[in-house]
Structure 1
């Protein structure tokens, strides 16, 4: 399907239907909603016109109310603004539902199910069939759900979206009207900040309603296409961070881990129980009674009467299901055998744990924990251990097997480290090794960070010969990425760690994107990760280590999101790509995996990407020496440009005063603090990448997603390298994806909203510096892609972004107006709290509308 036809279908099936149902929503019998709905088109048109004319947001709002004399009091005006926000939030949900309902029709899924096309080819090509089977023996896809707050609809709203999507698919007008009425009355905002367990409950909705059926459907399809497809572990796996991710989140404790582990097991068994009840209703024959009774007890008790110390009953479940299947086959002609096969497949996939619970902690906490161990277990405490050379540190480690006594008054974070290490053993007893087998070390800087963690396990009851744990270093900052290969070389040469790896499936290394963007800018982050992958692959192949990259990507392009599958399809031969693992978070979850259609499509896309890089590699995806030099030179120019901005004395001050940064901590969508060292003065290094990126996106300036790219491309052109850059864009899928994702990020930018700052006596020149780089980058992105508009090659995504930006433009104006009002008020003024609340309420809709940036 050509781009023009795709765009036509999208406009007819999505944009037109959305306007139709939005008109219906405006006429619902809610006095306030109806009144707001009648005014909103005028308010939106007013904002669009004034923003286009670069009018100050404060003047935009005041000019609007001058036209409507009935709003005599300031509080009446504010009340309307609150209602506009509430209305627009629900428009975003309606648009989400319409897009999801028409996903298959809009053409974005024309290349969906490319995996299906490959399977058809394999059915008539024995050689290809054999290659795919062989590839699957050493291939896996793991999607790891994280609770990072880039979008969190309450569970009630997720349910409405799902039901509304189904009603829209069926053109069920009566049901659509009822659901729109329900949407109008359902609160979007939680009055209390969620706990880590609350976050787990929110994400569990996706596990139960989307991933459970979709993964099973895909696996069933693979099994039916390949008779010899036998793998030790499931091909498609799920990971989970809420309740396990401690990095910078003091609200996560071992109690959180226990509750989330229990929650995952409970919702899984309830899903099993629902399937089992269908089986029980159909299989009413003789010969299966005892097996049915056994399963009834297991499923019911684990669903509704969970115990404190559960055990892994997966083998027992499979044994009884297989017994039932045998009876059906031998005595009842195989009647309803497919129902049993379906549940067997699900139990094999999800076991008794549903999703592997990862534990993550910062290296500084682990070093502090190890200091306590040294004082307790070493015959002579080593003075100045932290100052030792890396070689001497590693030589001093003793790897004793014991279980230290935990004293009262121990630092809470150290105590939690020891307790969770001990509790991992219980999770493995309850769900098998895959239930919890990874400990991720954030801010990993040296080999001793991993070896010290290994020793922490050994002094907490684990044995070196029975240590089913993968120690996963997370390299994220530019400097850490540069020395990552050297760190791993030391580990691969360490006798104890070398023996440990022989017993494991290989080495997993996590590479984070968000903090590397904050640290070095968009282009340098992409280059640093790509270069690190090449170097880490080389050293792992040298030591014959099966390497898995776990990518911390998700959300907008500035956080590593965008067209992620294109990265995995274009890594080239120098990058290990047998296993694909990545984080999915916030808007990534709801946009790419929020419905069965989108989840099925995106999972298959990632699988196809993993297969394509091996079965059909493109020569241009492996960069030659000159191309790498070209890329590196551009990354360096971009890096210098970004650092100059980041080190500008007004940089952080601008972000604090002109964006809603300081209000992010007040929105109740995350248990995680906005910054590390929460009580200290804000420093850029303490600011979480997600807060950093979100603040710039609220400003509609999107600095982390583009800044420095234009200067890099301009420098290449001035150096006479433009033809080479153009050729690289055409030949390298990886480089093309980086540029295309940058264009996606820039499609969300609107400097007109803050254009009044050009004349600001404090920030005027600083603002112009950012605007100049935006203009420069846009010019070169259009030039390199030979386009007239950004994202010309992706018209559906472009139109989707444009509509979402139009929907939320009034929210952006209201937010900037409120920030300006706050600057005029004393913090003790009663109105200060009111305008602060307007800001926090506007954040939700702006973030939620950005779901298609994933």
Structure 2
């Protein structure tokens, strides 16, 4: 490990290498025209100089054509050149990703702060090894992979990134050149939307090739070095999975797809075990074990390749057989290769026959309609579920009515498609548990959960599906600020309900509660969303402890700070002891999967950071309580002012028109990157509540105005300054790791903003005033954050991270210029009654194509 500072390691191993390989890439005539690679650096230079001189994107593109493109070129040829630039820039982003992946272990200290080795050494030094062992016997992390579309790379491009990273690591110039040429020829643009099954298959690639090895390596280290080979009755790392199970707003997820995804997860883990058994067979060639291994090999081969079920051992029997083989090796063969067989035993413990735990999720509004339909259909069959009319009952009466119910329903009872699919999805969970084990699908999440009725309806539907004692955890998802505020009262009602309390007892007195960041940020602004979640966690921890229930929080963190992401491990290490910390569970999606878990090194490093954040919060944290009363009051004031500021901004008459007409929002649906529709309802009307968080946040990102990550923060800080209360904010910043982490993430959003790109909008008659409001809040937030932190520049304490952001921003600046140029052309053409329809379509295609590279370049936002 180099002793040089992280920034120096980044410059030498990422920046310098990228420049070398990019110069090779630029000489490759992959589009049959050699001058694209020559002209792009010139265009980049014109962009940088142009913005420095306050030129707008149209002026910059015009100047470039005047200076470097022959006068006799037609408009069509010029447009063609801009499309080729887009192609090159997309691939430059891929190249940068590959160089960064290849250098991960050099730039990040794999034995440094937050790694398991570091944690173990700190525990030994502070005489806390026993406390660490006790904690690891019950503590778990569960990253949950979701297919939410923030990643534009098709599967084949992900494969090229992996191969490129390997070739760069070995400095294999010939292989690098070939792979760059392959990259140039490989299409990025998806002509058809992926199905939920396609999304699942692309994410299972990470499970099979990365998590399988990294998670088991961590588990082996814990067992061998912390527990000294003593058996641990805890997986420590679970993996969660949403594609194929997440029905919320996705009409394309069917029961057939859910079952197909579960089967693919099962066959993939069996295939991985089969490969490992084959390797073991080459080593364990001894009497008493050779034939036993051959039998396991045949069993797995028959199941994976021939789909033969007979002879398939149960999971328990499979694990016992591996342990028996290990016992023979230890007793009769001097423990030769026992570590290798132990590795496989640990993998079977971690991944079972399910590989990852498939969650089922549906919106409470859908459940409400489905439940009323169930009541009506059963009534028409002469089998009334309730004596009174359910639809007219009060919430309290509904909870009471739902408590005692013992009927059985079948999917075929229902003609209504949504009812049929909701009921059959529950029967699918039972089938998956029979095939893959209980951990295969044992959680039902209710999004947009606002009341105890919503939980009880889902719980009742489980019981109605011939499952009186469901082996399923019912998890409400509280998303918006009002929902978070009501969460404590909702859970009290449930904990006091006899049927639900009995269910919790059977489930080990554990209650899973999901808290969603993205819609919270979209609705309530950055500070209030995060503070509301923290307060809700404190309240839910207190009430759960009151009833003897262990609450386990599951965070919809996503990736970019604007969606509640940011430096994840810092966030969890900052929560203090008033928030239950039995497990850390969070969603990981899109470019955050490839950036944080895309290679063996980055996956191991980030899983260890996540583990250590829980450990340091519990074992090494000296703080008795994270927030003093004064700190809470300060935080409350800041959040309230920030919230009021954001809500007023959201209600501005230009808010929706600006997003609709000046941003790329409506182009997200055309990118074919995800199976879900880009908004919740089918209406043509542009409605804020229908907007999904990802296109919402992404549109601000494309404008380089990362509003959801900072808007309201500056005004809140300035309010305290003007009221003579800034010292309280300074104390909060000094004493609260939680607050510091929030502001660091906000700084990242500011660092990725670039208002010169859209400065032309301030002259716009309709939107000029609105653009100015955003820009002034950006300037205000930047000024106040620098004052509070004492920094001279944003992200001063994260120099390597900032260098990575700047390198990526430099790559995509020409891309954003082309995008804005095309948007301006569209606006001109839409005003012209004689506009050419084909020309309009061309520029719309240009905007859509330019979305890809910019989003992929934002991968370092987790």
Provide TM-score, normalisation by structure 1. Answer: 0.96
Instruction: Describe the shift of the 1:570–1:460 C-alpha distance in structure 2 as closer, same or farther (beyond 3 A).
Output: same
Tell which deviates more after alignment, 311-320 or 411-420: 311-320
Gaps of 5+ in 1: none
Q: Distance in 2 between matches of 1:3 and 1:809?
A: 33
Q: Distance in 1 between matches of 2:624 and 2:709?
A: 25
Tell which deviates more after alignment, 581-590 or 129-138: 129-138
Q: Distance in 1 between matches of 2:195 and 2:404?
A: 36
2:136 corresponds in structure 1 to 136
Matched-pair contact (CA < 8 Å) for 2:403–2:498: no
Structure 1 counterpart SS, 2:515: strand
Shift of 1:92: 0.5
Q: Distance in 2 between matches of 1:297 and 1:828?
A: 65
Q: Distance in 1 between matches of 2:715 and 2:57?
A: 30
Q: Does 1:489 align with 2:492?
A: yes
Matched-pair contact (CA < 8 Å) for 1:729–1:736: yes
Q: Does 1:752 align with 2:756?
A: yes
Q: Distance in 2 between matches of 1:16 and 1:524?
A: 41
Q: Distance in 1 between matches of 2:251 and 2:328?
A: 53
Tell which deviates more after alignment, 315-324 or 702-711: 315-324
Q: Distance in 1 between matches of 2:804 and 2:481?
A: 34
Matched-pair contact (CA < 8 Å) for 2:137–2:234: no
Matched-pair contact (CA < 8 Å) for 1:137–1:229: no
1:674-719 per-residue CA deviation (whole Å, 9 max, x = no partner) reads 1001234120000001111001101111110100000000001111
Matched-pair contact (CA < 8 Å) for 2:634–2:732: no
Matched-pair contact (CA < 8 Å) for 1:28–1:181: yes
Q: Distance in 1 between matches of 2:613 and 2:72?
A: 56
2:464 corresponds in structure 1 to 459
2:280 corresponds in structure 1 to 279
1:522 corresponds in structure 2 to 526
1:92-151 per-residue CA deviation (whole Å, 9 max, x = no partner) reads 1111111111122225657345321221344577x5121011111221100000001111
1:593-652 per-residue CA deviation (whole Å, 9 max, x = no partner) reads 111111111111111110111112242861011111111111111111111110111111
Instruction: Describe the shift of the 1:493–1:161 C-alpha distance in structure 2 as closer, same or farther (beyond 3 A).
Output: same
Tell which deviates more after alignment, 318-327 or 523-532: 318-327
Q: Does 1:808 align with 2:812?
A: yes
Tell which deviates more after alignment, 829-838 or 226-235: 226-235
Q: How does 1:783-802 map to 2 (within 5 A)?
A: 783-802=787-806
Matched-pair contact (CA < 8 Å) for 2:473–2:512: yes
Provide TM-score, normalisation by structure 2. Answer: 0.96
Q: Distance in 2 between matches of 1:310 and 1:487?
A: 48
Shift of 1:331: 3.0
2:145 corresponds in structure 1 to 145
Q: How does 1:623-638 map to 2 (within 5 A)?
A: 623-638=627-642
Structure 1 counterpart SS, 2:857: helix
1:193 corresponds in structure 2 to 193
Q: Distance in 2 between matches of 1:433 and 1:37?
A: 55
1:252 corresponds in structure 2 to 253
Q: How many residues align?
A: 851
Shift of 1:509: 0.3
Structure 2 counterpart SS, 1:425: helix
Matched-pair contact (CA < 8 Å) for 1:312–1:432: no
Shift of 1:484: 0.3
Matched-pair contact (CA < 8 Å) for 2:223–2:232: no
Shift of 1:310: 11
Q: Distance in 2 between matches of 1:23 and 1:326?
A: 57
Q: Which of 400, 410, 417 is matched with 1:412 structurally?
A: 417
Shift of 1:727: 1.7
Q: How does 1:526-675 map to 2 (within 5 A)?
A: 526-619=530-623, 622-675=626-679
Q: Distance in 1 between matches of 2:6 and 2:315?
A: 46
1:398-440 per-residue CA deviation (whole Å, 9 max, x = no partner) reads 5433422445662222111100101101111111111110000
Instruction: Describe the shift of the 1:37–1:383 C-alpha distance in structure 2 as closer, same or farther (beyond 3 A).
Output: farther
1:270 corresponds in structure 2 to 271
Structure 1 counterpart SS, 2:474: strand
Q: Distance in 2 between matches of 1:15 and 1:342?
A: 37
1:717-744 per-residue CA deviation (whole Å, 9 max, x = no partner) reads 1111111211211211100000000000
Shift of 1:449: 0.9
Q: Does 1:328 align with 2:336?
A: no
Matched-pair contact (CA < 8 Å) for 1:621–1:734: no
Q: Does 1:468 align with 2:471?
A: yes
1:349 corresponds in structure 2 to 350
Q: Distance in 2 between matches of 1:536 and 1:409?
A: 37
Matched-pair contact (CA < 8 Å) for 2:411–2:421: no
1:143-186 per-residue CA deviation (whole Å, 9 max, x = no partner) reads 00000111131121111111111221222222222222222222
Gaps of 5+ in 2: none
Instruction: Describe the shift of the 1:644–1:92 C-alpha distance in structure 2 as closer, same or farther (beyond 3 A).
Output: same
Structure 2 counterpart SS, 1:142: strand
**Superposed CA RMSD:** 2.1
Instruction: Describe the shift of the 1:811–1:384 C-alpha distance in structure 2 as closer, same or farther (beyond 3 A).
Output: farther
Q: Which of 724, 729, 752 is matched with 1:720 structurally?
A: 724
Instruction: Describe the shift of the 1:780–1:470 C-alpha distance in structure 2 as closer, same or farther (beyond 3 A).
Output: same
Instruction: Describe the shift of the 1:821–1:229 C-alpha distance in structure 2 as closer, same or farther (beyond 3 A).
Output: farther
Matched-pair contact (CA < 8 Å) for 2:513–2:552: yes
Shift of 1:380: 6.7
Shift of 1:663: 0.8
Q: Distance in 2 between matches of 1:696 and 1:647?
A: 17
Q: Distance in 2 between matches of 1:315 and 1:305?
A: 23
Q: Distance in 1 between matches of 2:122 and 2:294?
A: 44
Shift of 1:311: 7.6
Matched-pair contact (CA < 8 Å) for 2:284–2:290: no
Matched-pair contact (CA < 8 Å) for 1:747–1:790: yes
Structure 2 counterpart SS, 1:385: coil
1:296 corresponds in structure 2 to 297
Shift of 1:373: 2.7
Matched-pair contact (CA < 8 Å) for 1:71–1:77: no
Instruction: Describe the shift of the 1:307–1:423 C-alpha distance in structure 2 as closer, same or farther (beyond 3 A).
Output: farther
Q: Distance in 2 between matches of 1:3 and 1:560?
A: 33
Instruction: Describe the shift of the 1:144–1:775 C-alpha distance in structure 2 as closer, same or farther (beyond 3 A).
Output: same
